[in-house]
Structures are given as structure tokens and as C-alpha cells.
């Protein structure tokens, strides 16, 4: 899926929105974790370098095979044979991530040990600085790397998917895209980037995001819950201790709840009193 842009701002061109959003998210999480946006040298035109492409591709490779069907998950005695070839693929992807992560983590741990670093500046510092009640490091280097990979997977995947769906829907409804653009121009102008402090004033942009989440949820089901007591819902008996899964697709597209459920209508999320639109759904944890 594409949007218009090119090197000359006065002419049209094509940009792959999927690549742009994935690498933007990669830059954000690298900055949050390692306090650096790039592993290599930034390209003059702003496009990702080889290192960033390899890093993001490896992250998505891990994500793909974490949830892929694997016969040895159900017949563990077959695991040694790697019949699906998943283990080989994952080892290669994890080796790639380790090549970028391990030197930084190792160097940072040494900086904390020898006292050249004592102030937490990013998430890596926070993970290294965690101590138990005896003052010993709470996480090993391997555990820190595992936590970082988990964060990488979540941040490069979910937000980029949401942004891609929202932009796709707005491209199919140009008047909605124009309205969102006008709000951004009004709040932020055209001379600076959007700041987190601007979000309370960007109600329509957030309404577009909520509507994209409703129509195109990041995952089909919420995290499993357990019924705390015997319950009857819509004539269905749910015994205590049952695992309960909520279908986000079913909730978001239920015609009994939503008017024209398959239509992209951000206005349905705007409050009549003009109060702030929020993106969280605390009742659907």
C-alpha cells in the first residue's frame, strides 16, 4: 500500500507505507532501548541503511515463526528433526539480532560495573540497573537480550500495522484524510514534528486510530481470561475456571453495537461534549 511523496516536494511519487512505518517504529524503539536510532550510517535521503533493514527484517522473521504452526509443538519427540525447518530459520534470525544487540549490551554492562555510567538514560540502563534485595543484578545478559527482543517485536509490528490500516482507510476516504491533515496543521503547523504533548489536542487523529483498531484489530483475540465464578451470558453457561477468549473482530464488527459496522467512521469515537479521545480500552485487557 502506498502514499504520495518523493525527493522533490513539488512533485508526486511513491512511498511504500509498510516499509516506512516499520522502519519508523524500529527507529523509535532503538532510541528508547539503546539511545540511538541507527546501528549503521544514516542514509542521506533518510531511508534506512543496510543495518536497519537487516535488523527489522530479522525482528519480523522471529515474529512470524513464533506464532507459526509447528508439528513438534504437538509431538515433542519430533523436535530434534526440525521437520518444518523453523528452528534453523529462527536461529539465523536470532543470530542477526544478537550481532547488533550483544556488543551494545555487553559494553553497557561494563560501563555500569566500572562506574563510567551511573545514570539511567534508556530502557537498557533500566534493565541493567535492576537489583535484588542483596544488591545483585536481577537480570543476566541473556535475560536482558530476551526482554529487548520481546519489546522490539511488539513495537515494530503492532503500531506499524495500525498506522498502515488507518492510512489505507483514509486513502479510501479522502475527505477524512483531509480532515485529519487539517487538524495536524492546526495543532502542530508544518514546521515541526508531532510531540507527545500534542496528543490531547489531536482528537480526530486519535478517533481515526480507534476506528482502525475497531475494524482491524492487531490480534484476533484478547489475552485469555479465566472465569472466576459460574456465569450465564446470553443463555450460555460458563463454568467457573473456564478459559474465556474475547473475539476483538466480533466485538468491533458487531452490528448490534455498531451502526454500519464495516464502514470506517471515525466520528463515532468523538465525544459529544468535546472531551479527550483516548486510545486505551481498560475493559478489554
Residue at 161 is within a domain: no
Percentage, residues of the chain above pLDDT 70: 92
Domain membership flag for residue 162: no
Residue 267, pLDDT score: 94
pLDDT tens profile 33-69 = 999 888 876 556 667 888 999 999 999 999 888 878 8
Using the 3D structure, point to which of 123, 156, 189 is the last residue of a domain: 156
The number of folded domains in the chain is 2
Virtual torsion, Cα 90, 95, 97, 98, nearest 10 deg: 140
Report if residue 231 sits inside a domain: yes
In the listed set 126, 156, 186, which residue is the last one of a domain according to the structure? 156
Q: 106, 122, 156: which is the final residue of a domain?
A: 156
pLDDT in tens, 118-128: 899 999 999 99
Asked if residue 24 is part of any domain, the answer here is yes
User: 111-127: string of b/e by CB count within 10 Å (b at 16+)?
Assistant: eeeeeebeeeeebbbeb
Same domain, 70 and 149: yes
- Asked if residue 187 and residue 130 are part of one domain, the reply reads no
82 with 147, same domain: the answer is: yes
pLDDT for the residue numbered 1: 44
Sign of the alpha-carbon dihedral angle for 256, 260, 263, 266: negative
Q: In sequence order, what DSSP letters do the residues of 106-130 get, joined into one string?
A: HHHHHHHHHTS--S--SHHHHHHH-
Whether residues 21 and 81 share a domain: the answer is yes
Co-location of 150 and 189 in the same domain: no
Quick: pLDDT tens for 116-169. 988 999 999 999 999 888 888 899 999 999 999 989 988 888 888 888 999 999
d(CA 247, CA 215): 12
Per DSSP, the three-state class of 243 is: strand
Please say if the pLDDT value at position 246 is more than 60: yes
199 and 139 in a common domain: no
Q: Which domain holds residue 123?
A: 2-156
Give tens-digit pLDDT for 61-102: 998 888 788 888 888 888 888 888 888 999 999 999 999 999
Amino acid at each position: 500500500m502506498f502514499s504520495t511523496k518523493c525527493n522533490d516536494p513539488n512533485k508526486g511519487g511513491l512511498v511504500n507505507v509498510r516499509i516506512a512505518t516499520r522502519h519508523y517504529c524500529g527507529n523509535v524503539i532503538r532510541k528508547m532501548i539503546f539511545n540511538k536510532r541507527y546501528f549503521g550510517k544514516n542514509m542521506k535521503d533518510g531511508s534506512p541503511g543496510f543495518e536497519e533493514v537487516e535488523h527489522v527484517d530479522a525482528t519480523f522473521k522471529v515474529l512470524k515463526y513464533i506464532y507459526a504452526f509447528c508439528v513438534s509443538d504437538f509431538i515433542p519427540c519430533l523436535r530434534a528433526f526440525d521437520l518444518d525447518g523453523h528452528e534453523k530459520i529462527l536461529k539465523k534470525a536470532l543470530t542477526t539480532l544478537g550481532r547488533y544487540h550483544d556488543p551494545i549490551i555487553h559494553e553497557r554492562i561494563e560501563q555500569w560495573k566500572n562506574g563510567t555510567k551511573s545514570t539511567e538514560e534508556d530502557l537498557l540502563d533500566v534493565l541493567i540497573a535492576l537489583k535484588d534485595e542483596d544488591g545483585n543484578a536481577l537480570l543476566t545478559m541473556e535475560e536482558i537480550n530476551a526482554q529487548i527482543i520481546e519489546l522490539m517485536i511488539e513495537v515494530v509490528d503492532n503500531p506499524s500495522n495500525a498506522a498502515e490500516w488507518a492510512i489505507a482507510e483514509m486513502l479510501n476516504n479522502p475527505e477524512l484524510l483531509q480532515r485529519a491533515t487539517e487538524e495536524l496543521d492546526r495543532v502542530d503547523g508544518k514546521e515541526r514534528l508531532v510531540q507527545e504533548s500534542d496528543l490531547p489536542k489531536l482528537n480526530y487523529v486519535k478517533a481515526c486510530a480507534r476506528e482502525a483498531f475497531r475494524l482491524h484489530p492487531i490480534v484476533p483475540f484478547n489475552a485469555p481470561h479465566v472465569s472466576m465464578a459460574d456465569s450465564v451470558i446470553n443463555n450460555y453457561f460458563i463454568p467457573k475456571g473456564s478459559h474465556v477468549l474475547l473475539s476483538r473482530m466480533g466485538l468491533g464488527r458487531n452490528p448490534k453495537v455498531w451502526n454500519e459496522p464495516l464502514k470506517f467512521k471515525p466520528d463515532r469515537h468523538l465525544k459529544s461534549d468535546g472531551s479527550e479521545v483516548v486510545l486505551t480500552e481498560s475493559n478489554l485487557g
